[in-house]
Chains A and B, each alone.
Chain A
Amino acid sequence: MAIVKNIRRWTRIVPVRFARAPDANNPDIDSGTPDANAPDPDDRGFVPAQPGAASLPVGLDESLAEAARPETRVRLIREDMENGGALFITVSDNAILAITSPAPGTALPGQRNMMIKFRARAAGECLIRVMFGAEDGPIIHRLRVVVNALRDVRIAAHVPTINGAIVNDSTGTPVPARSTRTDANIRDLIAQANAIYFPYGIRFVLDAAINRAGALNFANRGMVNDMTNEFGLTTANNRVNGAVNMYFVPQIGSAAEVDQVGGSANSARGNPNTFGSLIADMAAGGQTIAHELGHVLNLVNDPRGQFVHVNTVNDPASPGTGREVRSDIVSRRRLMWAFTNLLADPNMPYRSDVGYGAGQPGAMLAVKQLDRDRTDLEMREVQRAAARLNALAGP
């Protein structure tokens, strides 16, 4: 295995690494929209964190027969090693997953970017191992795979009419009293959110009927000001117990904030009586819905209440999303990043594309716990919060 790399004093050698595979067929594609079958490996600080590998979340729909389950894919990239070196893939536990590509006993292709596909068999953990030279050759890399059975979370969607003083949006058009979204659009947004959460073992199930009967009398027509008690009044409107109540509204915020706030939510753990989410008409994609559902499922779960998002902390001097404390490329890949877009950086253009399209923040939830990072273990927390939505009210 030839590794050609300039070394000055010392350097870390990375023969190969795993990466998300946005395109189902082309391993050279680095960026693309979230895909239920192309999970993002949590490859943050994999050397110090147990088990010394990146962690790949994979969803498992137990209601489907194994053959009917979709294939999951991940890329293997030759970072520091030559393309000619023969690489084989094995699995530590065939009861958890079965590799479908490459075929058993077949080497990966001699190219920099390679595709691996597999099918989940059972919930649990195992390792995908990269062997050098032969199937029983030395292990040169591995990937921890966490297969999660899907937990259903019921969603009750509402499209209420909000009466109040007329306010114009940023184009000068009066804000309508009710969201203009169709039922089909709402279903599509939930489907997009499901594509993001599938690997983490969460599936949002929308009630058959979308409730359009609600009426609210607030300060401004078509607007819910989440800085006031209007948030709680909205989430109490036609509330369905045991479900995440999601309200699609034209605008969120005060009259001075038109076209600025895409979504708002509170945690089901901290707010057992009023939890829910508002989604404004400006939220065009499922990523914003998924982000708000993350808040409902108790993200960011910082026991000291410091972090609001993975990159912002609570600060009374900076109301709203909080004060920004991080802007690294890995934080930008995470679903709980505070903003809906990434600004272009002319000096470091790679920073504005973190694998989900130019200018788009990512959809990754942290699987691992890194040292002292209070924003971690997001997958664990959303699963725990989802499970408790089914519980009877305790004392």
Chain B
Amino acid sequence: MRRYLFLTTLFLWLMVGGLSVGSCQSTDPTSKSQDHKFREEKKMNLPLELERMLSEGEWRAIELAEQLGNKAWPAIKNGASMSGYRSRQVAMACAGRIGGDTAGIILAQGLSDGNVNVRLTAAAQLSVNPPENAKTAVLETLSKSSELDIREMLALAAGYLPGKDTMEVLRPLAEGKDVLGFNARSALAKLGDPEARKQLISSLSSKEPRVRYETLAQLRYVNDRTLAKYAKDLLWDKASALLIGPERNRRFRRVCDQAVDTLVYLMKLSPPFPTTAETIYSDSELLQVSQMIK
């Protein structure tokens, strides 16, 4: 929020529901069959439409690709090698959204693209759900790239890709005190490395509330139900951790709020209230969660 320094300091319009576009459906059977034919033709052309969107670098292509599923691959493959970088970037996002082996090939190719936007989008997609066949590219880029933000995301990707080679790449990175080091330690913990798990658990006792808060979030990434007991210990930790909301209305999210999210995720709880990353829970909601995990 910005203020101008030293500046001098009724009608309630109702939403008109009828303004929404009405669906003018005809009862004429001829018209119905024409509608059906039109819809079928449109459906048949959806892969072509996807290719057009990719060639123009339209972000709406992602939703269409998801809708098309495996039928989207020919268009996405073409998009991934188009001359415009935005086309290739959107193709990476499409591939990540669908996932699977074909996505792995395309995203691996994206990591070595000549444009940073394509590389970043590929790394971002891989950081959440990396296909196994992208492993070599992930580990190679993680160990050789000079781009820190790409490596930070790929460290998280590595946590989904078990193997001795993964551990060897992650271990030296995990010694760092920066975001890359933190992500590498989390990845090792996800892969079952005892030392990394020990460090992760000890971070939950850090004197810095923000560290406890961030570590709780990483427990969801590690995604091991046996770690829920550590989150349970922080369910009443009301230390202020992260400011949320617009600047003029900022409120601290507390360690216990993150603990709720982590417990709900790890233990697959269904509390009778909505849980979001921006919710500050009431005492009664904290109590309800604590009773659910007894």
Contacts and interface: CB of A to CB of B under 8 A. Distances in A.
A149 B116 contact: yes
B247 A321 contact: yes
Interface in A254-298: 256-257, 259-267, 270-274, 278, 282-283, 288, 291-292, 295
Contact of A242 (B59, B128, B240, B253): B59
B122 to A, nearest CB: 9
B85 A262 contact: no
B252 interface: yes
A176 to B, nearest CB: 12
Interface string B108-146: 000000111100110111011100000000000000001
Interface in B243-294: 243-250, 252-253, 265, 276-278
Contacts of A166: 10-11
A227 B89 CA distance: 37
Nearest to B93: A390
Contacts of B101: none
Main secondary structure of the interface of A (DSSP, over half): loop
A7 interface: no
A93 B245 CA distance: 44
Given A149-B116, A394-B127, A62 B3 contact: no
B54 to A, nearest CB: 16
B18 to A, nearest CB: 13
B179 A384 contact: yes
B3 A320 contact: yes
A384 to B, nearest CB: 5
Interface residues of B, number: 66
Nearest to B118: A62
Interface in B1-46: 1-15
A231 B11 contact: no
Interface in A323-341: 338-341
A271 B245 contact: yes
A341 B2 CA distance: 10
Contacts of A63: 85, 115
A241 to B, nearest CB: 9
Given A243-B59, A319-B248, A62 B85 contact: yes
B161 to A, nearest CB: 16
A26 interface: no
Contacts of A262: 2-4
Given A271-B278, A314-B250, A226 B2 contact: no
Contact of A340 (B2, B129, B248, B253): B2
A164 B179 CA distance: 46
B152 A384 contact: yes
Contact of B125 (A150, A252, A392): A392
Contacts of A393: 128
Given A264-B246, A273-B276, A393-B128, A303 B2 contact: no
Contacts of A305: 210, 240-243, 250, 252
Contact of A231 (B86, B114, B129, B246): B246
Considering residues B89, B156, B240, B248, which has the most beta carbons from chain A within 10 angstroms of its beta carbon? Answer: B248
Given A305-B243, A314-B243, A291 B278 contact: no
Contact of B120 (A227, A265, A303, A390): A390
A170 interface: yes
Interface string B67-102: 000000000000000000110010001001100000
Given A163-B12, A274-B278, A321-B1, A226 B149 contact: no
A163 B250 contact: no
B28 to A, nearest CB: 31
A227 B246 CA distance: 8
A181 interface: no
A22 to B, nearest CB: 23
A17 to B, nearest CB: 29
Contacts of A390: 93, 120-121, 124-125
A395 interface: yes
Nearest to A235: B246
A310 to B, nearest CB: 13
A395 B121 contact: no
B1 A387 contact: no
Interface in A221-265: 221, 226-228, 231, 242-243, 252, 256-257, 259-265
Q: Give the 10 A-B residue pairs with the shortest CB-CB distance, closest first.
A: A163-B13, A391-B124, A149-B116, A395-B220, A390-B124, A165-B10, A305-B243, A392-B128, A387-B149, A264-B1
14 contacts: A226-B1, A231-B245, A252-B1, A260-B3, A265-B246, A270-B242, A340-B3, A340-B5, A384-B179, A387-B120, A392-B125, A392-B129, A394-B128, A395-B220
Given A261-B1, A292-B2, 18 more contacts: A62-B114, A151-B120, A152-B117, A164-B12, A226-B246, A231-B249, A259-B8, A270-B242, A271-B277, A283-B2, A305-B210, A305-B252, A339-B3, A340-B5, A387-B153, A390-B121, A391-B124, A392-B129
Interface of B: 1-15, 59, 62, 85-86, 89, 93, 96-97, 114-117, 120-121, 123-125, 127-129, 146-150, 152-153, 156, 179, 208, 210, 220-221, 223, 240-250, 252-253, 265, 276-278
